[in-house]
Amino acid sequence: MSYVDTILEPGEKIVYRTKPSWTLYAPAIGLVLCALIVAGLEVNFVGLEAVGLTIATILAVLALASFARAWFQRVTTEIAVTDRRIILKHGFIRRHTIEMNMQKVESVDVDQTLAGRIFNYGNVTVRGTGSTFETIRTIDAPLKLRTTVTAR
């Protein structure tokens, strides 16, 4: 059972859920491509096969570590909008949670780069009354999150 499901108040309903964007895997994908390129190039250089294979193996191990980190970040992060509040939870052993009542939300800002617009991810800053604000970084469908919050 997810964290958000365990803290719902009686009668509270989840309106929208999202996760960090799949683009967290981009460094791992880049390292895998580099490993494949190095492994492919080593065939063309006689006498340097061991060096090329070693470099390709190191890149592959780094790609695996980067993939594991991105996967763990996606799995341990929950973002939800209910009919009463916005909930953000990230972390596993050291958990960090933020909850803001809908009545306290003053504005919701979305920042997207060109790549963010193409791949539909971005940063969302939720500003509450009393000048408190929280930025939720690199999430899927940030405009849908903003629309969900501001439509209330």
Is residue 9 situated within a structural domain? no
Q: What is the pLDDT of residues 76-107, one digit of tens each?
A: 999 999 999 999 999 889 998 888 888 888 88
| 66 located within any domain | yes
Burial of 59 (0-12, 13-18, 19+ CB in 10 A): buried
Taking the CA atoms of the chain, what radius of gyration do you get in angstroms? 21
Give the range among 7-16, 50-59, 67-76 with minimum mean pLDDT: 50-59
Q: How confident is the model at residue 46 (pLDDT cuts 50, 70, 90)?
A: low
CATH number at residue 58: 2.30.29.30
Residue of higher predicted confidence among 112 and 43: 112
Residue partners of 44: CB distance under 8 A and separation at least 6: none
> Is the pLDDT score of 20 beyond 70?
yes
Position with higher pLDDT, 74 vs 41: 74
Q: Is residue 55, in this structure, part of any structural domain at all?
A: yes
Residues contacting 54, CB < 8 A, separation 6+: none
* Dihedral pair phi/psi, residue 129, rounded to 5°: -65, 145
Examine residue 3 and state whether it is found in any structural domain, yes or no.
Answer: no
Q: Is residue 2 part of a domain?
A: no
Question: How many CB atoms sit inside 10 A of residue 82's CB?
Answer: 20
> Is 96 a member of any domain?
yes
Number of domains in the chain: 1
- The share of the chain scoring above pLDDT 90, in percent, equals 62
Residues of the domain holding 64: 14-152
